[in-house]
Structure 1
């Protein structure tokens, strides 16, 4: 696309064809005066024009007037005095023009190399933007619904079938047959329900495992497993969960999982012997529900045990190896309750308390189980 007059003036370019015309006129003048001109290399049009203007006009030979005197040739252009700041404005305009051209060139290269507009991974490959994550499934709501449904579904009484029907109607979709396969006979009570894992499926559906302790009228209580199918009514934030159909009774594992490799603390035999009487006195007062402040460290709070427990003996006490003013150990204690004896394990914390006359260890905390101290 040709440049306009303003752009040529800013970039310092001559008018199209101006310097060629000037060159032809100079050749004609020299041919008239000196004969055929010598071939000279093309000069800068502005420098050539400046030299022509500064050079003195050549003397013409006197001739007799033979007619009207021809008018002097008019130069193709005349120099104008440049205004202050014009050079700076011209330089700034050139810089802006070339900068714009360079910017559009870079944008064109980027569009060709990275047409997707993604982020560069440093190897020239465009990476996609962060993917949208699906909303989390309402696991807690699914477990709560499945537990409530299980309690209503596994309890029945042939003398009061309406009780079961009303309980199921509160958690089933409208127009669902409340019997859900029950023939209306027998009696069974649900003693406890424990919701478990939620397994997601397609179309916003899921399966919830529930463990229930049931007591048939003619058999002892037992634990059973129930898989309850549920689904979200919609994908929006106002969606609810619903039971989609009859569940299925499943078996439960006969044994628990294998234990992990837990560290076994080393024993401090000397500290175990030194603090054995303190541990026995503490558990005796602990079982009686009496005052334990005399054998607990200052600031310690150990609530008393419930009624019905009687201490049989402290079977064993082992203090863990360590150092410092605070230590921990394991106690195995035998209790008498419900007409039987039962042995349990406790983790006991000890703190060394100093007085003006002596030092002694006192109980600072107690918790059930054998979980190691962090």
Structure 2
């Protein structure tokens, strides 16, 4: 058996770059080279193939982080918006939404009309009328000792305070002789039975005094227009009081239908007419009218009339705001309504 020469071929080196067989199957870096056997030269450095996997892995992680940041940046405002619009957990219902304050105010108003009117000679009548509003065991007169008298009217809602879903305090305004006052009424609501009851003693309170009305400077007036309009407007108010639709339409602008009082008042005079300075065929004017108020008619047992209902026995001043238009050489009324606040 022949022995292998131990003399190393100087053409073969450990460095792959100096291989004597570059690009051949004998080249250790050839992709299809078989595993090195005994005596095969070894590579002297790392080829770098594993480094490319690390680079791709790093890029994938980086892109994943970018996607997460972008998605969170878009999603966060949307989630905050939806969380604000969507109630969390059980819906919170305020007492205001559950307590029927409108019905409670109606109940308290009826109670006040009875409670604020009493007379010593009508004890039993007041007691019977109060009973439907009071809780069981309450005093029949609900705090009144049966002496003296009081009368009140013009009971109107003023304010309300909802304490919880079953309790509220309703405040009402009323007029007693020459005094305007308030009445505070505590009310209890039975949710299951849907019923109300006065739950405590009411309280009479003084009503706020009237507000101070600041003076408003009067604007410039148009004397010529006031003189021109006074007669046609006086004729208009006469027809307006009488309520004769045929004659009233003579003073109405084209396409406008007016309705009058139908004899409820009589025209006395046009006390004042204010036409602001300006120009044009459409003007807005303020008129102060004096109406005649018919006397009250009383009928005796023999059915005789003591006064003529068509005879004016009183006077009442009222202010109106009118829109008038000039068509040709005549003025016509386009609209009539209540006047704004007075000047001065």
TM-score normalized by the length of structure 1: 0.58
1:320-339 aligned within 5 A: 320-337=276-293, 338=295, 339=313
The counterpart of 1:353, out of the listed 290, 312, 327, is 327
The counterpart of 1:340, out of the listed 314, 329, 332, is 314
State how far apart, in whole Å, the 2-side matches of 1:260 and 1:155 are. Answer: 37
The residue aligned with 2:174 is 212
1:30-179 aligned within 5 A: 37=14, 51-53=29-31, 98=61, 102=65, 106=69, 119=80, 129=84, 134=94, 136=96, 138-179=100-141
Q: How many aligned residue pairs are there?
A: 283
State how far apart, in whole Å, the 1-side matches of 2:291 and 2:15 are. Answer: 130
Contact 2:16–2:28 under 8 Å retained in 1: no
- Displacement, 1:96? 12
The counterpart of 1:273, out of the listed 218, 221, 227, is 227
Does the alignment pair 1:366 with 2:323?
Answer: no
The counterpart of 2:261, out of the listed 305, 314, 326, is 305
- Displacement, 1:39? 10
Aligned-residue Cα RMSD (Å) equals 4.8
Closer, same or farther: CA 148–105 of 1 in aligned 2, 3 Å: same
1:52 alignment partner, SS class: coil
1:129 alignment partner, SS class: helix
Contact 2:16–2:29 under 8 Å retained in 1: no
Contact 1:346–1:367 under 8 Å retained in 2: yes
Deviations 1:68-125 (A, max 9, x none): xx9999xxxxxxxxxxxxxxxxxxx989975995489659x99xxx9xx9739xxxxx
Does the alignment pair 1:228 with 2:194?
Answer: no
The residue aligned with 1:45 is none
Closer, same or farther: CA 314–50 of 1 in aligned 2, 3 Å: farther
Closer, same or farther: CA 187–302 of 1 in aligned 2, 3 Å: farther
State how far apart, in whole Å, the 1-side matches of 2:34 and 2:214 are. Answer: 110
Closer, same or farther: CA 224–54 of 1 in aligned 2, 3 Å: closer
State how far apart, in whole Å, the 1-side matches of 2:239 and 2:275 are. Answer: 20
Does the alignment pair 1:192 with 2:154?
Answer: yes
Contact 1:142–1:198 under 8 Å retained in 2: no
State how far apart, in whole Å, the 2-side matches of 1:145 and 1:318 are. Answer: 47
State how far apart, in whole Å, the 2-side matches of 1:193 and 1:304 are. Answer: 31
- Displacement, 1:325? 3.5
State how far apart, in whole Å, the 2-side matches of 1:50 and 1:148 are. Answer: 111
State how far apart, in whole Å, the 1-side matches of 2:315 and 2:93 are. Answer: 55
Q: Which has the higher contact order (CA 8 A, sep 6+)?
A: 2
Contact 2:189–2:197 under 8 Å retained in 1: yes
Deviations 1:16-48 (A, max 9, x none): xxxxxxxxxxxxxxxx877994699xxxxxxx9
Deviations 1:269-306 (A, max 9, x none): 22222211111111222233443122222333332226
Contact 1:350–1:361 under 8 Å retained in 2: yes
The counterpart of 1:259, out of the listed 209, 213, 216, is 213
Closer, same or farther: CA 250–96 of 1 in aligned 2, 3 Å: same
The residue aligned with 1:43 is none
State how far apart, in whole Å, the 2-side matches of 1:367 and 1:205 are. Answer: 43
2:113 alignment partner, SS class: helix
The residue aligned with 1:20 is none
